[in-house]
Structure 1
Amino acid sequence: MEVPAPPPPQPHFLFVTNPMQGHINPTRRLAARVMASNPCARVTFSTAVSGHRRMFPSLSRPDDEAIDAAGVLHAPFSDGFDDGFSSTTHDAGTYRARAFAAGRDTLSAVASRLAARGHPVTRVVYTFLVPWVPDVACAHGVPASLFWIQPAAVFAVYYRYFHGHDADLAACANGIGGDTVSLPGMPPLKREALPSVVSITSPEHRHYLLLDLLRDLFLSLDEHKPRVLVNTFDDLEHDALRAVPEFELAAVGPVVPDEDGGSSPTSADLLHPEEQNARDTYMAWLDTKPARSVVYVSFGSVLSLNNRQEEEMRQGLEATGRPYLWVARKAAAGDGSASPDGCAEGMVVEWCDQARVLSHAAVGCFVTHCGWNSTLESVARGVPLVAVPQWTDQPTVAWLVEERMGAGVRARVDGEGVIERGELRRCVEAVMGDGEVPTAIRAQSDRWRELASEAVAPGGTSERNLRAFASAAAVSSEYPVGGRVRRRGLLYLHI
């Protein structure tokens, strides 16, 4: 008598990311969406202990597991820097080896612990600053997929950089070659459209570690050939999603908070739990302003503005004559250059629920550093952008905003990288003023909001891609074991 094959395990997705807020937030939202699209699945989220500790500060031990309000299990790994990595106190040269070794060991222990409970992981999804994760997945016989949290255009540029175009890109980025560079599958890119990383030519550069991590990532991609999920949507980056035929890139975005802002467990920003009274203050202030009258300013959770840039920003905002809501970090506000009590025409806060602010009818434009998360949040809500890119992928995002979408303008900076007050005023008027150009930008912003909404709605391109991914991960015909691909009718893993 033939013994029937054992049933496949319950689908169990393990999402892994480094402890930066800009990586945790979209990955956590994607995890919640996967769980919603496959109600039979389990979802576990893993970030480094330092990030986990900030997400769950009340734990008795920083590496204890926790379950959030959406039902996702959070099980941290250690990257060897449980109190957080700081370039001022730690040696960047040793980060990579230490983080990789500790991460592999402790994430493997997480996977083994889950399997011992009868809940083996069946699919791993990881972000780009933890390029060692596929090795752990492979050792446990589990397929891995990359969640690319930057634009598809940036993925294409990096791929070409690590596959024979590094010299051309570096020459263009550093102004020693032509003003543009041509890459397969991409339109000609001007120098100011290139991600800053491709300009790095020396190991002594302060951001060389990022280039090293990206090199590790693309070496791993070449070896493992995972499916790549991208936080974008087809109408926005149709060509870029197909610019690297060596990989299957599936758009699943925009992966942004729900329309209600941060009220649902899948939207909440766990790294910055807001005070109710603070939210009531700035939201009540917005309620007093006319529609599309407020300039919203935020440069994200990483960058600090120097004193000169702060003063130019303040003077420029005042010169617009428009009310503004400016998010300034503690370090910036502490020297008296930004008062949390606000001023006659504006309000300055240390942090706000950005999704909720961008959803408010009073907000007329967003002055941003062009982090991809912030940009997509603005696009999804139809808010025009003033792009002030600083580094990494942000110059490419600014190019997308101005040249490809027509949903904003890019501010020009001086020789010190500062946007001066007159330029800020000009840019704000270009998106909020009267006349053909501002009217056209606002119309484009509204159109992109519609397209973004259609992409993630039932039957939309991104929704279909995510549903197909979740379904394929639940019942798969192949998975890697020891670097090889083994085929079966159903996914049945022993971990």
Structure 2
Amino acid sequence: MAKAHVLVLPFPAQGHVTPLMELSHRLVDHGFEVTFVNTETQHARVLSALPAGGAAVLGGIHLASIPDGLADDEDRKDLSKLIGAFTRHMPGHLERLIANFEAAGRPRAKWLVSDMISMGWSFEVAKKFSIRVVSFWPGAMATLALLLKIPKLIEDGLIDDKGLPQRQEAFQLTAGMPPLHTSQLSWNNAGAPEGQPIIFDLVTRNKKFIDLAEMSVANSFHEAEAGAFRLFPNILPIGPLFADHRKPVGSFLPEDECCIKWLDAQPDRSVVYVAFGSIAIFDPRQFEELFEGLELTGQPFLWVVRPDFTTGLSKTWLHEFNHRIAGRGMIVSWCSQRQVLAHRAVACFVSHCGWNSTMEGVRNGVPFLCWPYFSDQFLDRSYITNVWRTGLAVSPNAEGIVTKEEVRRKVELVLGDAEIKERARLFNDAARRCVSDGGSSDENFKRLVNMLSE
């Protein structure tokens, strides 16, 4: 007998779509029918980026979409604008989508798996249709712990009731969690300052919906975040999530496959892999400093440069740029990061420290050079540099620029540090044990499958 029909609803950003798509593949492998619901804009991007075979290569995951409430030409990287629109408009659209399933001959949805904080409103929609709920956290458990401990942070005088720092200092919620400075709280570093109240309101308002979920799971593993999971033992780690590289995981841009062949021709543990996720933007000066710093290292490098990653560079400069790196460096607009980080040629990862990238690097034993951009990435950096000690961080100068000399120096330090490499290997082993048969994340995933099968 076919198992339950599960709706999966991510926050409309790459770092949320990817882990929930990885989870969806695993649920399909266990016999569930999965409908993956993106916003219309992200749905179109996912479809256009799929490799040959189109939706057929998704292996049984059905794709659906609903509007996010923004006009076509509005900036969806403005998180406060996006959040303001979708919290008003998406609940009604989700209700209509669910109601239309039976009319279209689809099985009635029995479960909703959705982002825990940012999409908590969807839990109320599900309950209207007697759909049971699993909440999913895509980031570090430590980030979630901070969100859930906001009342305590206010009580302790670290922040006010609007989420703004009252003291400039580093703090730690509990032993084993990464230290974080009050200037780097995720809700205050996710866009323009004027949008901060909207983001903080979403975080604080949606926490109450967690109680509507029958199980809460997180894309992390116990050994990586033992302190954070001790604070909230009812939230179960099921990560690091991953899927076979032949299964698409909802990329918003087409993946360049040529870089894998290029990596095949490089020596073992020689390549510096550079990628800053789907949102980070560099100004032209910082872009040039990074490029020239990579040149100075003398190492082969693979660099992901999205079409919107920087602005204002002349065609003449770009032509010279490509000529200079010929034979030693490769630039792609997007790639299968799962394949790249698993490749024997990759020596270190210059990363924005998004949680997906962090888990992918950890799972493959790759040392990091951390270069966070916004939101929770500062806390993820603190894990890497202060707790796990599997990498180093760049230090901007007085003008806020990471110079080419700093890039060269830190890459050389990471590549030459035997202790960092050994700790990265140990965390690789720990992550793989957790997801292997009988590991803690594997056992928690089995609990999830059993509950969804009820």
Q: TM-score range by the shorter chain?
A: 0.7 to 0.9
Q: Sequence identity of aligned pairs in percent? A: 28
Q: CA RMSD in A?
A: 3.1
Asked if the contact 1:295–1:323 (Cα under 8 Å) also holds between the matched residues in 2, the reply is: yes
Give the SS at the match of 2:223: helix
- Residue equivalent to 1:374: 357
Deviation at 1:165, TM superposition (A): 2.9
The 8 Å contact of residues 13 and 122 in structure 1, kept in 2 or not, is answered as yes
Within 5 Å, give how 1:74-473 maps onto structure 2: 74-81=63-70, 83=72, 85-86=74-75, 92=80, 95-96=82-83, 98-116=85-103, 117=105, 119-127=107-115, 128-162=117-151, 164-165=153-154, 168-170=157-159, 177=167, 179-183=169-173, 187=177, 189-191=179-181, 194-198=184-188, 205-221=194-210, 223-224=211-212, 226-244=214-232, 248-258=234-244, 262=245, 264-265=246-247, 267-274=248-255, 278-280=256-258, 282-331=259-308, 332=310, 335-336=313-314, 338=318, 339-340=321-322, 343-344=325-326, 345-433=328-416, 438-473=417-452
In structure 1, the residue matched to 2:24 is 31
- 1:334–1:285 distance in 2 versus 1, CA, 3 Å: farther
SS at match of 1:75: strand
Aligned pair count reads: 441
Contact 2:12 2:39 in 1 (8 A): yes
When Rg is computed on C-alpha atoms for both structures, the one with the higher figure is: 1
Match of 1:73 in 2: 62
Q: Distance in 1 between matches of 2:341 and 2:355?
A: 15
The equivalent position to 2:41 in structure 1, one of 50, 68, 72, is 50
Distance 1:130 1:232, change over 3 A: same
Give structure 2 stretches of 5+ with no counterpart. Answer: none
Distance 1:27 1:166, change over 3 A: farther
Q: Is the 8 A contact 2:370 2:391 kept in 1?
A: yes
Q: What is the match of residue 14 of structure 2?
A: 21
Decide whether aligned partners of structure 1 residues 57 and 411 sit closer, same or farther in structure 2, where only a CA change above 3 A counts.
Answer: closer
1:392-451: CA deviation from partner (whole Å, max 9, x where unpaired): 100110011111112111222234433222222222122112xxxx10111111111111
| 1:375 CA drift (Å) | 1.1
SS at structure 2 position matched to 1:76: strand
Deviations 1:454-483 (A, max 9, x none): 1112222111111111111221xxxxxxxx
Length-normalised TM-score, structure 1: 0.81
Instruction: Give, as a single letter, the amino acid of the residue that structure 2 aligns with 1:191.
Output: H
Q: What is the distance in 2 between the residues matched to 1:67 and 1:121?
A: 22
C-alpha distance in 2 between matches for 1:165 and 1:113: 44
SS at match of 1:355: helix
| Partners of 1:162 and 1:215 within 8 A in 2 | no
In the aligned structure 1, how far is the partner of 2:352 from the partner of 2:192?
Answer: 26
